[in-house]
């Protein structure tokens, strides 16, 4: 009979992982348990992280924020530091699944699932987030762009867990924008999404730009060429339209039952144009 273990501390966790090296470690289980029930993953011993309080919360150290990986998504929406400093991430979490899923699911689980459609991933790429990977022997850190290799594939090693996500606060006056397109208004798997963080001068010149797209490649796509095209120029619809054409060439979407590759490519570019609407205060 398979076991479900519930460690209450990190020491308990390391002992259980050592004793059951083939066990599946999870937090909310909103992805893993569905796949096990449907037979996509064979039954395994389970180690659930939900009772380890040391893996929950948000810590602010000056300009750096540490989001502990076991924090439920719904709790992140209630965190004042997330709403104040990382609205791009808050917007993504707010449209992720349903309230029930957000109550169970964690940000660490969303990252480790490594789905190109994962709603928190594009914002974390735009924020240049780093992941903290902990094991019984120590901690290592990687940029999220290196950690995720492809759909469902990460650099997480045996005996490791994703323990935290580190980000630097964007400039307080930076434009932070997230939007996704799905086949319905709620509980939608993203057909394409975009996270953007832009800093403008007092004269409206783009001083810095970080752009990331989800669901248009095997991993989140960042387009440095489009960002470079915007930097040093006024933020205008004309400039964004030219950058959108660059994006449409850079992304590599697939055709599946939800959308064609051509549709995703067009949407990826069009999402960039929505930044002007946010700048002008439109919905």
DSSP annotation of 106: B
**One domain for residues 136 and 194:** no
| Cα–Cα distance measured from residue 271 to residue 181, given in angstroms and rounded to the nearest whole number | 9
**One domain for residues 156 and 60:** yes
| Cα–Cα distance measured from residue 263 to residue 50, given in angstroms and rounded to the nearest whole number | 39
Of the residues 143, 168, 193, the one at which a domain ends: 168
Tokens 């300009």, located at residue: 63
- Are the C-beta atoms of residues 23 and 17 closer than 8 Å to each other? yes
**One domain for residues 66 and 51:** yes
Q: What is the pLDDT of residue 283?
A: 41
Q: What is the pLDDT of residue 133?
A: 98
Q: pLDDT (tens digit, 0 to 9) for every residue of the chain, 283 residues total?
A: 589 999 999 999 999 999 999 999 999 998 888 888 888 888 889 999 999 999 999 999 999 999 999 999 999 999 999 999 999 999 999 999 889 999 999 999 999 999 999 999 999 999 999 999 999 999 999 999 999 999 999 999 999 999 999 999 999 999 999 999 976 555 567 899 999 999 999 999 999 999 999 999 999 999 999 999 999 999 999 999 999 999 999 999 989 888 899 999 999 999 999 898 766 554 4
**One domain for residues 163 and 191:** no
- Are the C-beta atoms of residues 176 and 196 closer than 8 Å to each other? yes
Strands 206-214 and 138-143: unpaired
**One domain for residues 117 and 243:** no
72 backbone dihedrals φ, ψ, rounded to 5°: -60, 145
Q: What is the pLDDT of residue 282?
A: 42
The 3-state DSSP class for residue 110 equals helix
| Cα–Cα distance measured from residue 127 to residue 133, given in angstroms and rounded to the nearest whole number | 18
**One domain for residues 156 and 219:** no
CATH number at residue 71: 3.30.465.10
**One domain for residues 70 and 136:** yes
**One domain for residues 164 and 180:** no
Of the residues 168, 194, 221, the one at which a domain ends: 168
Q: What is the pLDDT of residue 43?
A: 85
**One domain for residues 31 and 144:** yes
Q: What is the pLDDT of residue 65?
A: 98
Of the residues 118, 141, 168, the one at which a domain ends: 168
Would you list the DSSP string of 40-93? SS----EEE-TT-GGG--EEEETTEEEEETT-BHHHHHH-HHHHHH-HHHHHHH
Q: What is the pLDDT of residue 276?
A: 80
- Helix 237-250 to helix 261-279 angle, to the nearest 10 degrees? 150
Q: What is the pLDDT of residue 279?
A: 61
* Domain count along the chain: 2
Q: What is the pLDDT of residue 186?
A: 57
Residues linked to residue 106 through DSSP beta bridges, in sequence order: 72
Residue 20: give the domain boundaries. Answer: 4-168
**One domain for residues 14 and 130:** yes
| Cα–Cα distance measured from residue 135 to residue 17, given in angstroms and rounded to the nearest whole number | 10
């Amino acid at each position: 009979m398979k076991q479900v273990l519930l460690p209450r501390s990190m020491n308990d966790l390391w002992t259980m992982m050592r004793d059951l090296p083939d066990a599946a470690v999870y937090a909310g289980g909103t992805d893993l348990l569905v796949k096990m029930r449907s037979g996509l993953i064979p039954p395994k011993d389970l180690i659930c992280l939900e009772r380890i309080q040391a893996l929950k919360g948000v810590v602010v150290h000056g300009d750096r924020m540490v989001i502990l990986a076991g924090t439920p998504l719904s709790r992140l929406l209630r965190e004042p530091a997330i709403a104040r400093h990382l609205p791009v991430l808050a917007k993504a979490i707010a449209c992720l699944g349903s309230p029930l899923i957000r109550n169970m699911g964690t940000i660490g689980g969303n990252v480790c699932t490594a789905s190109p459609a994962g709603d928190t991933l594009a914002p974390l790429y735009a924020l240049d987030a780093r992941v903290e990977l902990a094991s019984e022997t120590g901690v290592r850190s990687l940029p999220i762009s290196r950690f995720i290799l492809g759909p469902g594939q990460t650099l997480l090693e045996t005996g490791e867990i994703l323990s935290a996500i580190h980000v630097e606060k964007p400039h307080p006056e930076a434009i932070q924008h997230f939007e996704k397109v799905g086949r319905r208004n709620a509980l939608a798997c993203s057909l394409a999404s975009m996270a953007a963080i832009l800093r403008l001068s007092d004269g409206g010149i783009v001083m810095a730009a970080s752009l990331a797209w989800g669901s248009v490649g095997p991993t989140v796509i960042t387009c440095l060429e489009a960002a470079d095209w915007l930097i040093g120029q006024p933020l205008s619809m004309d400039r964004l339209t030219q950058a959108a054409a660059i994006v449409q060439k850079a992304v590599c979407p697939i055709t599946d039952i939800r959308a064609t590759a051509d549709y995703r490519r067009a949407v990826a570019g069009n999402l960039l144009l929505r930044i002007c609407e946010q700048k002008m205060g439109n919905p």
